[in-house]
Amino acid sequence: MKGFLGTYASFTADLNLVLQLAMALALGAGAWLARKKRYRAHAICQSAMLLLNLPLIALVMWPSFDERVWPRIPQRIGKMHYAVATLHGFTGAMAELLGLYIVLVAGTNVVPAGLRIARWKVWMRLELALWWFVVATGLVTYFCWYVPKVRI
């Protein structure tokens, strides 16, 4: 199905892009809630974004990566559209896993005491920065794959 953003992307790629940008904004809003000491709302917001991203990874991003990029690396990693997609995929996996870890530590007792983080602010800020970096690489990936004549 054709996309709705006027590029050559499919509908699912366009929808995923819009949702990822909205989620990045929501995570920023969630960080603002923490600064305002509204921790409950902050936890709900960040957890919801993290969990919403899981089906997008499973249904949109991983199948696309697995079909088009994974079989071509490492042989074609020197090409821009493979390199940026690979960078996006690996940093995205790190961001999702780190986020899940933070949620498990903060919201449950599943993680043993010895494996729990102590410096909350540092890790959460690192997670937010990593997430936004991943969104930025996702944007570059989108332009490399779906927009003609744009070769960054």
Query: H helices of 36-119, where?
Result: 39-56, 62-68, 80-107
Q: For residues 46 and 86, which CB has a smaller minimum distance to another protein in the complex?
A: 86
Q: For residues 78 and 114, which CB has a smaller minimum distance to another protein in the complex?
A: 78
**149 dihedral zone (left: phi>0; alpha: psi -120 to 50; beta):** left
Three-class SS of residue 2? strand
Contact mark string toward another protein, 22..61, x via CB under 8 A: ----------------------------------------
Q: For residues 132 and 143, which CB has a smaller minimum distance to another protein in the complex?
A: 143
CB of 90 to another protein, least distance (A): 19
CB of 88 to another protein, least distance (A): 16
Compute how many residues bind another protein; rule: CB under 8 A: 20
* Binding footprint of another protein on the chain (CB under 8 A): 1-3, 8-11, 67-68, 71-72, 76, 79, 81, 144-146, 148-149, 151
